[in-house]
Amino acid sequence: MSGMRRRQFITLLGGTVAAWPLMAEAQRADRVRRIGVLMGVANDAEGEARVAAFRQGLQQLGWVEGSNVLVEYRWGGGDPARLETQAAEMAAMMPDLILAGGTAALVPMQRATRAIPIVFVGSADPVGRGFVASRLRPGGKTTGFTIFEVSLVGKMLEALKKIAPGTARAVLIYSPTSPNAADYWRSLETAAPTLVVKPVGAPVHDADEIERACAAQAGERNVGLLVSPDPITTARRELIIALAAKYRLPTVYPFRFFVTSGGLMSYGPDTFDLYRRAAGYVDRILKGEKPADLPVQAPTKYELVINLKTAKTLGLDVPPSLLARADEVIE
């Protein structure tokens, strides 16, 4: 089997865009549209790759940064207070449209403005959270793409049981401040009885709590970890991966980049595809369509990624059926 098999992703488009006031002087106002991008995640390689996918989508639709569109970026890094400030600043700029990357960005952005159209990539339950009136007809000024369905953590648990069949306790590491925390826990509780697994919650706010949550599993038998998809766990992924290795805990992650960094396995949506698709909604809104009439869309591409080297270190034999399903296998 080849060392890695995966669809090739276009490299990050280079360059940053100058501040709007400077660019506006050199552009005709009736030709240039302005977009604000508020990302809930950190400005790291993964965050930049998501933005690159969005920029690629815009470019394919004829929007050229610095020419007919100006884009202003803000990065929250999973810090709620920082995101509140940035959302207020973004609303004060009064762009034509705002892209909210992640639920952590969408929540403060909607608090900051209900007048500016918002396209989001995030939220497991946008109707239940009150972001939109319905998926089919969102109403108001907000629409977008759910990055996770409520059932995601249950699917991750199924994957954990396939690679580590003896798992009897599944510990969910999650941020209690995440807007989707209740959805993830509900998904785990629903799936656990069918798979004969006891669900255990491990709420964490920082690195110290992550270390304590993992250390608490030391010496326990038949324990596996599930890592929820939120900015806090994403920002501390290297720590979680190292602790899972230290305590020999089979762990399933929500994103591919956890596995390329040494994690065991991930199951989750192709986030780059969602950001490219979000550019399509931005294009349609800038051309006159209303967010209220654009249905909220769910992920259409999911990825199963397995790290065979990590599996071997943990003494796990990956079933051929699981390998056959994998979108990428790292050896």
Read off the pLDDT of residues 243-276 as tens digits, 9 standing for 90 and up.
Answer: 999 999 999 999 999 999 999 999 999 999 999 9
How many angstroms separate the CA atoms of 123 and 134, rounded?
Answer: 13
The total domain count for the chain is 2
294 and 204 together in one domain: no
244 and 324 together in one domain: yes
How many angstroms separate the CA atoms of 97 and 115, rounded?
Answer: 10
212 and 314 together in one domain: yes
Domain hosting 321: range is 152-268+303-330
How many angstroms separate the CA atoms of 317 and 331, rounded?
Answer: 13
Residue 317 lies in a domain: yes
The pLDDT, as a whole number, for residue 105 is: 94
The pLDDT, as a whole number, for residue 227 is: 96
Instruction: Please say whether the beta carbons of 157 and 226 come within 8 A.
Output: yes
The pTM for the full model equals 0.78
Type of residue found at 106: L
Query: Tens digits of per-residue pLDDT, 288-310?
Result: 999 999 999 999 999 999 999 99
pLDDT greater than 50 at residue 3? no
264 and 163 together in one domain: yes
